[in-house]
């Protein structure tokens, strides 16, 4: 009994450290991948003056706090994004490790960490660069498929004998990839025809494949509509505010009809919501499909 209570205290701390380190790595990925730079070489260096950063100032969270957001080499300001991402991934992983201490499900732990890491990465990179790197979307879809084959619990699949669960779970993931990306591809193709301009990026289509790999087809379908709704809820008030409150000051980069808006962050937020809680409520919405198809 004492072991379990020790474990439930230690695991969230271990999760926090793991998350901070992987959050730090995510910062490297978010800076280098869209610029086509290697994520391994060279080691960490200042983005402003390229001076190498010693490991003692490169510690997750602490590094930014010690430097108070200013690079020691050239005093360039370091975005608080570095600190926020490390802290966010640390807290999220801490929660996953905490739930692992009670359910002991390795599949859920690995899938939760991998999926959340990919989605946080997509949110940051897509907001900054309007790019969703293939390494996150296609890489995430492959990882989701492999984890599903190993751990049927990711898709809440029960215990059939002779590995049938694994096959069932792998197929669920594969169908999720195909339906998720296929459906969004067609929505994008039809919207492009209607509006006479590209309506959806290829990156969004691949990202939805990744969502389908972890959430199954129901989750992918939910995220298309949930993401679009979330985008409207977030952007319409900003749009109206900019239109009326600051009508005289036409700032560049301001929201307007025809301005490209990244869809990836909203898809990712919807996917995070689905995978980490909303699934239980949303799966019953799709039960009618089984009745129609059988």
In the list 74, 229, 235, 261, the residue contacting Zn ion (rule: CB under 5 A) is 74
Minimum distance from residue 155 beta carbon to Zn ion (Å): 47
Query: If binding is defined by CB under 5 A, does position 46 make contact with Zn ion?
Result: yes
In the list 21, 57, 73, 131, the residue contacting Zn ion (rule: CB under 5 A) is 73
For residues 219 and 211, give the distance between their C-alpha atoms in angstroms, rounded to a whole number: 7
The stretch near Zn ion (CB under 5 A) out of 42-50, 161-169, 206-214, 240-248 is 42-50
The stretch near Zn ion (CB under 5 A) out of 70-78, 92-100, 110-118, 129-137 is 70-78
Query: If binding is defined by CB under 5 A, does position 278 make contact with Zn ion?
Result: no
Minimum distance from residue 53 beta carbon to Zn ion (Å): 8
The stretch near Zn ion (CB under 5 A) out of 10-18, 51-59, 140-148, 247-255 is 51-59
The stretch near Zn ion (CB under 5 A) out of 13-21, 22-30, 72-80, 235-243 is 72-80
Q: Residue 62 or residue 73: which is nearer to Zn ion going by CB?
A: 73
Query: If binding is defined by CB under 5 A, does position 49 make contact with Zn ion?
Result: yes
Distances, alpha carbon 31 to alpha carbons 25, 206, 226, in Å: 10, 21, 28
Minimum distance from residue 190 beta carbon to Zn ion (Å): 48
Query: If binding is defined by CB under 5 A, does position 39 make contact with Zn ion?
Result: no
Q: Residue 73 or residue 283: which is nearer to Zn ion going by CB?
A: 73
Positions touching Zn ion (CB under 5 A) are 46, 48-49, 51, 71, 73-74
């Amino acid at each position: 009994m004492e072991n379990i209570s020790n474990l439930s205290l230690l695991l969230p701390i271990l999760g926090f450290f793991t998350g901070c380190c992987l959050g730090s790595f995510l910062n490297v990925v978010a800076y280098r991948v869209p610029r086509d730079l290697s994520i391994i070489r060279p080691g960490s260096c200042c983005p402003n003056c390229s001076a190498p950063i010693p490991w003692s100032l490169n510690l997750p969270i602490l590094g930014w706090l010690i430097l108070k957001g200013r690079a020691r080499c050239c005093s360039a300001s370091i975005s608080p994004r570095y600190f926020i991402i490390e802290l966010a991934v640390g807290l999220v992983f801490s929660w996953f490790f905490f739930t692992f201490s009670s359910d002991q499900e390795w599949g859920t732990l690995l899938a939760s960490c991998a999926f959340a890491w990919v989605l946080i990465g997509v949110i940051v990179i897509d907001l900054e660069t309007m790019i969703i790197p293939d390494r996150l979307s296609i890489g995430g879809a492959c990882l989701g498929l492999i984890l599903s084959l190993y751990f049927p619990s990711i898709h809440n699949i029960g215990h059939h004998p002779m590995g049938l669960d694994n096959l069932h779970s792998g197929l669920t993931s594969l169908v999720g990839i195909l339906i998720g990306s296929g459906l969004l591809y067609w929505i994008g193709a039809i919207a492009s025809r209607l509006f006479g301009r590209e309506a959806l990026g290829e990156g969004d289509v691949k990202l939805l494949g990744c969502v389908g790999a972890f959430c199954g087809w129901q989750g992918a379908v939910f995220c298309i509509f949930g993401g679009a709704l979330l985008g409207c809820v977030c952007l319409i008030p900003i749009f109206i505010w900019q239109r009326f409150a600051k009508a005289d000051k036409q700032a560049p980069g301001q929201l307007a009809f025809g301005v490209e808006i990244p869809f990836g962050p909203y898809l990712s937020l919807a996917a995070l919501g689905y995978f980490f809680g909303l699934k239980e409520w949303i799966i019953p919405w799709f039960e009618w499909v089984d009745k129609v198809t059988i």
